[in-house]
Structure 1
């Protein structure tokens, strides 16, 4: 699970490509004060000798808040990390992580107390790092073999985050610009970041492969900003014609020759670009899965025109179809004949089959899977114990900005249906129970028709796994008979749509 304090899109995903952790602009980050001077404490262990055939990451955590630190690596075809090593901190706050048999340079994710940073590791690296958890982003620093690349990543991430907070990034400005203006802003910001990379590499030598990767990442992030322009426009701007795209706006996609960039598929920025491409280019005009007798043919024709007919296209379409199933529980079966005819990758095909099976098991009319969790008082509550009432199930977390944005509307909805046979069941996926309990105590209004539960396993907990939750917020509407009425019902903020859905569920 990736914890991101705020996020401006509709969902927080269980796993996102690492570029979101590498400092790309994320809308809505809270303004931070200027950093205080920080002096890294001395390392309390001898510098580790490189492990034959292995890579080491060791260091010191100043004022630890938890005793475990992790490192994840080995991206699969979607950019999801498949391998994780963990280490316990010593009483003094020291640790040592060893990656045995790393065969090639790779992105990795350092995780500590639900905070994460992107690393770049090469075989034989002997990195040493230090940080203070309360100021993780501002105090993370590296020494040893591989330090230059990782200090660049840390500094670049912080600079980009500060730019976004100050409204200087293309994404932060897109909602106020025309498409042509955004292109100029994005081009300028891209050149600024490339110049910063060149200047850093001149001052502190960087591996040539790393520089090449970072140039590709900057290009991919630039393209993602251009692709997401329309989605950042308000309904008023769209209706007023201010968000009209000029002729040839998307020509940059062909100019990038994405079909030749198979090697970039191991990079998180490129994976995120393909994800953005799918949801901006392959949906229909209303933002939904294409429908109609030749929907699959049209989808593949569009993707092939831009991405070619090789692995890049297979990954992009596979990501898109899985995203539709996992985030919106969309029935993608009408597109599967074309998918089978055009997809070349058996791993992607297997993932899509598994997602479809999971979707069918949780389709409308199927029994809702049962689970039992504790409420804030420690009392055990099972979903099945609520049978006889309509249940509006909400998977959320205190760190999920889209989830929190729905809470005021959710409270109003509870008020509207007070005294009726509707239970609003909230399942928090916070890793730390204290975060959930603090939110309930300070920001959540209790009511008789609300039940607050916590699953400390986060996305791997029993409840979210039973409902195949891959992104939050995730809403479910369950009938009096314990069967699923909707696996993607209207959100609380969509009144009167959600009111009507609840009223229908209450009818005999």
Structure 2
């Protein structure tokens, strides 16, 4: 359950004759400052450690005022990674940070205890951008030439890390693992960005470089680094024979990826049989944090089974008027969750509009809902796109916490009584499947 925890701080004074000092280790972090352009006053600070691959029960909701200012104290028992939008934070018990964060990670500002680690984190790379490839911007004429650039950039990043003076040895070890994982990710992603045609030959070419990097990441502690988890996932994929030949991963690492396979199933469908199977699997887990996330995921997924009440969300139309999804009940609702930055979402949009025309005059309401946190980008996009349907935007936290929206496009079907029919409904491009479902509901 996501929460923000507030504390009243009281000074502790030792009276004369009280004996030796019994100073307790710090268990909180003080955060204050401004979060701008978040699209909402309730901003999730997402836990980004190993168990975040399975669920989000350790996320924290930061409550800001209308200008994005906040001042709060959160409990934290050990150093951990968190993320706010594209910003990755490293928080240590005892940190006292004043920060200013936007959706652009490199614009972040940090002051106070813990600032040096977080100012370093401003320039962390993105796995989905091919890490050191920078979304293809660092491609060179061949893999060897690109590899030379990747290696030089990694060496420079390592030099910056080694030069930090007010960070822990643990932080430096974890960030060194991040650099190595970014290198491995860069090598692997080269094939996609360079559009290598013979992928089998390319895999064989780079395997001697990738395998030792994966072997060096075979450390339970390194799972707290997001890109390490991304890279190790290759070792548990159909490519494992090429990438992880001869590597025997720890039971802890193997347990995480076995659990992730079950979570992936729950992220694409939900049935009573599946939730029962995952519950039985959770009972076999050794890691308590993994078990807690899997159980929490099953409990939440169970609320998305057909027949359960639909979760309400707040919507805003292009004129700035606010309504709730429940205001539209009375008809069957077919909801399209999308965003302007999502290519597959935009590919589905014409099918959605066409299907809406086909059901015009029938008791089905088609509801396109942008999940863009940048409303200006959404409105600008719509200004250049002709849409027949009334458009809505939502940054309601229920989308993630209740509807389990972890990817888009995602489609929901809700009946006329505002109960869930299918929380993972067919896409409009899957015409036969979705029309069969809608027609059945209209006939009931």
Q: Which residue, out of 406, 409, 419, partners 1:470? A: 406
List gaps (5 residues or longer) in structure 2: 3-23
Distance 1:338 1:186 in 2: 47
Query: Does the 8 Å contact 1:58/1:128 carry over to 2?
Result: yes
> Counterpart of 2:330?
385
TM-score (norm 1): 0.59
Structure 2 vs 1, CA of residues 473 and 59 (structure 1 numbering), >3 Å: closer, same or farther?
A: same
> Offset at 1:215?
1.5
Match of 1:324 in 2: 265
CA distance 1:98–1:336, change in 2 (3 Å): closer
* Structure 2 counterpart of 1:106: 80
Q: 1:204 to 1:444 in 2, by over 3 A?
A: same
CA, structure 1 residues 503+443, in 2 after alignment: closer, same or farther (shift >3 Å)?
same
The 3-state SS of whatever aligns with 1:470 is coil
Q: Is the 8 A contact 1:74 1:106 kept in 2?
A: yes
- Determine if the alignment matches structure 1 residue 457 to structure 2 residue 396: yes
Match of 2:89 in 1: 119
Shift of 1:147: 3.4
Cα deviation, residue 457, structure 1 = 2.0
Q: Secondary structure at the match of 1:108?
A: strand
2:151 aligned residue: 191
Post-superposition offset of 1:152: 2.2
1:396 aligned residue: 338
Distance 1:385 1:422, change over 3 A: closer
Q: Distance in 1 between matches of 2:44 and 2:38?
A: 14
Q: How does 1:47-196 map to 2 (within 5 A)?
A: 53=26, 54-58=28-32, 75=49, 77-78=51-52, 80=56, 82=58, 84=60, 86=62, 96-99=71-74, 102-109=76-83, 111=84, 115-130=85-100, 133=102, 136-157=104-125, 167-169=136-138, 184=144, 187-196=147-156
CA distance in 1, matches of 2:275, 2:111: 51
Cα deviation digits, residues 229-258 of structure 1 (max 9, x gap) = 777798xx7xxx533344486563476336
**d(CA) in 2 for partners of 1:69, 1:384:** 28
1:142-171 Cα shifts (integer Å, max 9, x gaps): 34444333222224459x89976673346x
Root-mean-square deviation (Å): 5.2
Unaligned runs of 5+ in 1: 1-13, 15-50, 283-298
Q: CA–CA distance in 2 between the matches of 1:258 and 1:312?
A: 13
When normalised by structure 2's length, the TM-score is: 0.66
Contact 1:258 1:307 in 2 (8 A): no
Give the secondary structure class of the aligned counterpart of 1:424: strand
CA drift of 1:202 comes to 5.9
Pairwise CA distance, 1:371: 5.1
User: Compared with structure 1, are the counterparts of its residues 392 and 161 closer, same or farther at alpha carbon in structure 2 (3 Å cutoff)?
Assistant: same
C-alpha change, 1:362 and 1:232, in structure 2 (3 Å) is farther
